[in-house]
Each structure stands twice: as C-alpha cells, then as structure tokens.
Amino acid sequence: MADTGSLLPEWLDMTFMGHGHCYLWRSDLLALHAISDTLIAAAYFTIPLALYVLLHKRKDIEFEWMFLLFALFIFCCGVTHLMAVYNIWNGAYYLSGFLKALTAVVSLITAALVWPLIPRALALPRPAELQAANMGLQSEIVRRTEIEQNLEKARFDLEGQIEELTRTKQRLEEEIEQRRRLEKQQQHQTRALERSNEDLEQFAFIASHDLREPLRKLMAFTQMLMTGKYGEFNEKGEQFVRYIREAAERMDALLNSLLSYSRISSSDEGHGELSLQQVVEDATRDLQLRIEESQATIKVGDLCWVRGDPAQLRQLMQNLIGNSLKYCPPETPLVIEITARPSMLPGRCEVTVTDNGIGFDGAYKDQIFDVFKRLHGRGEYEGTGMGLAICRKIVERHGGSIIAESEEGKGARFRFDLPQAAGSGDSF
C-alpha cells in the first residue's frame, strides 16, 4: 500500500499471497477446496438458469421478481466461490471482498423481502386445492351442461307448447267467430220468429174481424132467404142455400179454431202454480153435458202440482178429454183415465190420458198433431182438426212434448210433460 495516490492498483493489488499458502500448498487440501468451490459455483450458476427456464415456461408464476432476486443472489454466491478458487493461487482480496459485499447486499435484500412474502405465498392456493376446485368446477360444468341441455329441451317443449297454444288459440278464435256468426244468425232467426209471431197476431186480428165479416153476411142473408119472406125456393134451391150456409158455418168453425190456435201466447205472463186436479175438474165441468150423454167414466189418479197458464192447461185437458168423448167406443162404455207421475226429466211431471175408444192407426201418431189434420171424413166426426194441434202447442209452450200411442180399435193414450210446481218435490 505504498502508493495511495489511486485506489485502483490497490483494488487490483495482486501482491497478496494466495490462499494456497494457508493450505501450505498441500495438494489434497488444494484439490478439496478448489474442486468443492468449483462444483458449488457450477451448481450456483445452473440454478439461475433453471429459474430462468422455469419463469420462461411458466408465464403465470406468482412473485416473479422474487425468483429473479434469488437467481441474482445465487449467481452472486457462485461468483464468490469462483473468486475463492481464483484466490487460492492469487491474492485479489479486494475484488473478492467487493464481490462478497455485493453478494451481501443482494442476500440482505432477498432475506428482507422473503419474510413478508411468506404469508402472501401461503395464501396462494395449493395445487391440490386448485385441482379439487378444478374437479368441482368440472363437475359443475357437467352439471351446468346438463342443466343447459334440460333447459334447451324445456325451451323446445315450451316452443312446442306455445305452438300448440297458438293453434288452440286460433281454433278458439275461429270458434268464437263461428259462435258470433251463429248468434247473429240466431238473433236474425229470433227476429224473424218474432216477426212471424207478430204476423200471426196480426193475422189473428184480421181473422177475428175482416175474415168473419163477409162470413156473417153470407150466413145472415142465406138465413134470411130461408125464412121464405123473400120468395119461395124449389127443393134444389133450398138445398143450395143450405149448402151455402153449411159451408159458411164450417168456415166460421175453422176460423175460430185457427184463432184460438194463434192466440196461445208464448209469454210466461199469467203462469202460476196450480193443482192439475183442479184443472181437470174445471175441464170436466165444462164437458159435463157431453160426459153424461156418452155415459163416460173419468178416473182421475193422484195428480201433481204444476206451473203454467191456467186457461191454457184447462183447454189442453178439455181438448184431450173432449177428444176421447168424441171417439168413444160404439159398444162398450167409455172409460177415460188420467194419471200423473214424476217424469224422467228433472223438475217435470208426466201426465197420461188414456181411453178405451176407437183409437187410430199408429202410423198417424205424429200427423194427428198437425194443424187442420183429420183422420176421419166430415160426415163421421165433426171438428176442424185443430184440437190436438192446440194441445201440442200448449204443451210446447210449457217446455214439454206430447206423444200419442194407439192401435186401431184399441183406445188411445196421450202422454205429455209439464213443469212441476217449485217446492212440490215429488209430492203428488
């Protein structure tokens, strides 16, 4: 250290003795130290390389800087060992000291930084954990895929259902449309029916006056001719006048029955609860004379309470009983039986009128209810053929139907149903 003018010669001062002196140049010691240090250095140089390769391959590695620091620190350690090998034979202790100092600095920094890193490194998930999580995630993915598939299927089903619903909706709409049309048609028909009813009423009115007016004249004047006050007829003439009169009388009867047919009102007005027994009694009272004439027996069973128009029901019973009286048997005494029982239809009662009269051919069982329908010549039985038509209309106005059963010569049976009075239950 003679020249202290510059530090450099001191730095590179090679005048010191090598470490070999301390080993007394023994070859075994020399070899031991030189080989060991060389191997350490070699190992220390490969480690940073390995770290570098690792970092290069694993870009996602956490705390990369720590690895770099380690690499640097180990590299520095390697250099110090290499320096130790060199200094066996040379005395570059300044350089080796400087390198040691550098290594110390790097080591210190590394040591200082490695401790706080531990908790952070511990917080990092372990590969097993990651694997478990991964597995969990995998199964989750499988599950989700399944769910997705199910969802897809559900969506498909839903789409199908929506299509189905849309089709149903369309069908319903069409149906609604059709019903509207039907309703309109029905309203139309109802209106037409109302109109025709009004026409019928109108007709009844006209028939009751205008049609009978000329008829009255016919009858009155032919009658006046028949008095003989206005000249005598010969036999033929008298017959002709009588024909005119009979035709006019017949016309009058037809008009009357047509009138009573068209007058059967369809409204519920005047409908009340009444005992059918009473109705039959009233009807037979009106027919008393004819009943006595034909010496008929009328057997009335237990009858129900019904709901309806008293006048109409009375006419119904009167027409049916009158019918039996008209077509009474020629030899045996006439027996008319009137019975009632609860109908198969709820809230209605079935009434039967049976006689042992001449009956009729069953083939006509529907026709006999037609307007002006007659099965007999005018000479045999009187009547306009309106009686049963009126019966049918009355029964239908009371929401029921009437049927006839008969055989020629075996009596007739008429069966019809009427609404039972409310609260009468099955009591008869």
Partner 1 sequence: MADDDPLDQLLTKEAFEEAKAVNPLYFVDNGVELMRYLRREPPYTNEVEYPMPGLILLDLNMPKMDGRECLTEIQKDPRLRFLPIIVMTTSNREEEVLKSYQLGANSYIAKPVDFEKLVAQVKAFHAYWCSVVELPSGKQ
Interface residues with partner 1 (CB under 8 A) are 204-205, 208-210, 212-213, 215-217, 219-221, 223-224, 248-249, 252, 263
Residue pair 368/404 in contact (Cβ under 8 Å)? The answer is yes
**Residue nearer to partner 1 on the CB measure, 52 or 205:** 205
Of the pair 190, 197, the CB lying nearest partner 1 is at: 197
Which amino acid belongs to residue 219?
M
Of 204 and 244, CB closest to partner 1: 204
Nearer to partner 1, 32 or 220 (CB): 220
Please tell me the distance from the alpha carbon of residue 389 to that of residue 370, in angstroms, as a whole number. Answer: 5
61 contacts: CB under 8 Å, gap ≥ 6: 54, 55, 67
For the CB of residue 209, give the shortest distance to partner 1 in the complex, in Å: 5
Integer distance in angstroms from the first to the last C-alpha of the chain? 153
Using the minimum distance from each CB to partner 1, give the nearer residue, 64 or 249.
Answer: 249
The DSSP letter of residue 367 is G
Rounded to a whole number of angstroms, the minimum distance from the CB of residue 374 to partner 1 is 22
Roughly what angle, to the nearest 10 degrees, separates helices 310-326 and 276-286?
50
Distance from C-alpha of 326 to C-alpha of 387, rounded to nearest angstrom: 11
- Least distance CB 300 / partner 1 (angstroms): 29
Coil, strand or helix at 403? strand
Rounded to a whole number of angstroms, the minimum distance from the CB of residue 205 to partner 1 is: 7
Q: How many CB atoms lie within 10 A of CB 241?
A: 16
Give the whole-angstrom CA distance, residue 341 versus residue 330: 31
Q: How far is the CB of 197 from partner 1 (least distance, A)?
A: 16
Pairing assessment for the beta strands 272-275 and 305-308 based on DSSP bridges = antiparallel
Nearest distance, CB of residue 342 and partner 1, angstroms: 35
Q: How far apart are CA 307 and CA 274, in angstroms?
A: 6
